[in-house]
């Protein structure tokens, strides 16, 4: 079975059109302007990718390592979702093309690994596939770099065509694979020891990505700035927008015009929909009296994503009841931000925020027991209203480094270079009889993206107003610039 037909999610039909008459194919192959043979310039961040590969190499001396990027996935019948490179693969190469595979092989007689990048060859007009191959042909999907061009662009030691991958891996049988991305790679390299080596490999990649270098922080700053502009697009539209779908459209336009895409499905939750944590249907009508919980992030061309939430009064001004809940959540966030310091447990910001919210819930008469009792592990009654913890790692993925070991991530310590979200929320369901009627249907979350430093933290999204009065002022100013 070919690499093409093994694609995860590939459509069943043959990719090459068999119905072209020979005369047409002969005609298609002639009288094309010769293509330039110049090699592309090196990727500007190629030295960073090489350093990351060296770090992976040092963790697994003497072992062959296989990192696929993944494949296009079918959306419906014979149409595909827009491809997005696998995060670990991109982290190590900078390559955005589908189907590619990075293989690191031990150097003979030396420390370290050689990097081998397997890519789709680009024969140009020398092969009829540029016209007949509906999935990879240039006239159908555009050009790909090709083998020599990819080696020059990404600064790898060697580049090869994807058809050579099977034979190459047969010569390097002892390997760890980042599994679940390529059925071809998964089949070609048998799993060992019940998959434990592969699991450890995925964990190691995630744990390397826990610490952002200067390049990554710069990319995060870019997408956060772009996300602010997307939020302002929404604020300008709120005067006339009729539905959550319009909100989503305004933000997503910014994401596509300034970046690669949105980093995740935009949550544009108005009114009681804000009490649904991952509301992405975005199909409700907007009402002036309601709040809009906008949880959205631009993913940049380098694939790093922002993850920001602001809860905005659609009218431009919080009601007294809305402000009461909003200010409680904001105070909880400030307590959590103060706990983002190197040496603190990863869960410490969550503990601080949850206590502030529990104290507020008790004052409001919502918690059915004193705060200390409610916070005990056997109760945790406050979570009926707060629902989630306040932090996750952020970077190439919105929930970054997800394969890292729990003792390093959730039960580990905060360290300089980590980037995490801080996002407390309170959600009072419309049918919750433990909540006074005036609060029901209110959902509020405030989320910022935070870099741990040597002495504390930097709120990378601080320029996006979050305190209640500052939000109202921001909305007024943005609407004046309309």
Active site residues: 78, 278, 295, 307, 388, 392, 399, 423, 427, 445, 447
Structure-block tokens of residue 260: 């690669």
Separation between Cα atoms, residue 118 and residue 97, nearest integer Å:
11
Q: What is the dihedral of CA 96, 101, 105, 111, to 10 degrees?
A: 20
Q: What is the dihedral of CA 278, 283, 285, 290, to 10 degrees?
A: 0
Structure-block tokens of residue 315: 């009218």
Q: DSSP secondary-structure letter at 16?
A: B
Q: Which residues contact 339 (CB under 8 A, 6 or more apart)?
A: 348, 349, 351, 352
Separation between Cα atoms, residue 466 and residue 468, nearest integer Å:
6
Three-class SS of residue 312? strand
Concatenated DSSP letters of 114-127: EEEEEE----GGGS
Separation between Cα atoms, residue 129 and residue 135, nearest integer Å:
10
Structure-block tokens of residue 427: 């959600």
Task: Return the H-helix or E-strand segment holding 131.
Answer: helix 129-132
Query: At how many degrees (to 10) do helices 214-237 and 244-258 cross?
Result: 140
Cβ contact 146:117 at 8 Å: no
Measured CA to CA in angstroms, residue 145 lies from 14, 83, 150, 379 at distances of 24, 16, 6, 58
Q: What is the phi/psi pair of residue 347, to 5°?
A: -85, -5
Q: Give the angle subtended at the CA of 397 by the CAs of 268 and 295, to the nearest 5°.
A: 15
Q: Which of 39, 32, 23 is nearest to 130 (CA)?
A: 32
- State the Rg of the chain over Cα: 26
Separation between Cα atoms, residue 90 and residue 98, nearest integer Å:
11
Is the Cα torsion angle 232, 238, 239, 240 positive or negative in sign? positive
Q: For tokens 């990649």, name the residue.
A: 205
Is the Cα torsion angle 235, 238, 244, 245 positive or negative in sign? negative
Q: Which of 293, 372, 280, 279 is nearest to 325 (CA)?
A: 293
């Amino acid at each position: 079975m070919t690499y093409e037909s093994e694609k995860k999610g590939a459509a069943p039909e043959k990719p090459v059109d068999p119905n072209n008459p020979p005369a047409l194919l002969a005609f298609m192959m002639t009288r094309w302007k010769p293509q330039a043979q110049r090699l592309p310039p090196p990727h500007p961040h190629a030295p960073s990718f090489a350093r990351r590969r060296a770090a992976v190499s040092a963790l697994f001396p003497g072992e062959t390592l296989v990192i696929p990027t993944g494949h296009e996935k079918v959306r419906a019948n014979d149409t595909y979702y827009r491809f997005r490179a696998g995060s670990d693969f991109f982290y190590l190469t900078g390559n955005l093309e589908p189907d590619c595979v990075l293989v690191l092989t031990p150097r003979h007689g030396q420390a370290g690994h050689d990097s081998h990048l397997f890519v789709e060859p680009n024969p140009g007009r020398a092969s009829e596939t540029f016209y007949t191959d509906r999935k990879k042909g240039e006239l159908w999907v555009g050009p790909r770099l090709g083998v020599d061009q990819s080696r020059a662009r990404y600064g790898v030691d060697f580049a090869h065509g994807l058809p050579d991958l099977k034979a190459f891996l047969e010569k390097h049988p002892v390997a760890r694979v980042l599994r679940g991305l390529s059925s071809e790679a998964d089949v070609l390299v048998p799993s060992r020891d019940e998959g434990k080596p592969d699991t450890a490999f995925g964990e190691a990649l995630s744990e390397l990505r826990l610490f952002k270098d200067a390049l990554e922080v710069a990319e995060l700053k870019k997408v956060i700035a772009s996300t602010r502009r997307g939020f302002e697009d929404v604020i300008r539209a709120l005067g006339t927008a009729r539905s959550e779908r319009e909100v989503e459209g305004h933000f997503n336009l910014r994401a596509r015009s300034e970046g690669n895409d949105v980093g995740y499905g935009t949550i544009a939750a108005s009114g009681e929909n804000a009490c649904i944590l991952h509301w992405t249907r975005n199909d409700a009508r907007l009402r002036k009296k309601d709040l809009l919980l906008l949880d959205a992030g631009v993913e940049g061309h380098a694939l790093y994503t922002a993850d920001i939430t602001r809860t905005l009064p659609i009218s431009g001004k919080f009601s007294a009841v809305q402000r009461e809940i909003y200010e409680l959540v904001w105070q909880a966030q400030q307590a959590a931000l103060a706990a983002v310091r190197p040496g603190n447990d990863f869960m410490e910001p969550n503990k601080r925020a949850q206590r502030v919210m529990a104290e507020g819930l008790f004052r409001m008469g919502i918690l059915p027991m004193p705060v200390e009792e409610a916070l005990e592990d056997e109760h945790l009654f406050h979570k009926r209203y707060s629902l989630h913890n306040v932090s996750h790692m952020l970077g190439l993925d919105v929930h970054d480094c997800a394969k890292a070991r729990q003792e390093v991530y959730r039960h580990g310590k905060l360290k300089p270079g980590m980037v995490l979200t801080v996002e407390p929320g309170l959600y009072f369901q419309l049918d919750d009889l433990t909540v006074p009627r005036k609060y029901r249907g209110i959902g509020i979350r405030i989320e910022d993206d935070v870099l741990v430093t040597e002495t504390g933290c930097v709120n990378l999204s601080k320029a996006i107003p979050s305190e209640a009065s500052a939000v109202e002022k921001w909305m007024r100013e943005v609407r004046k610039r309309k």
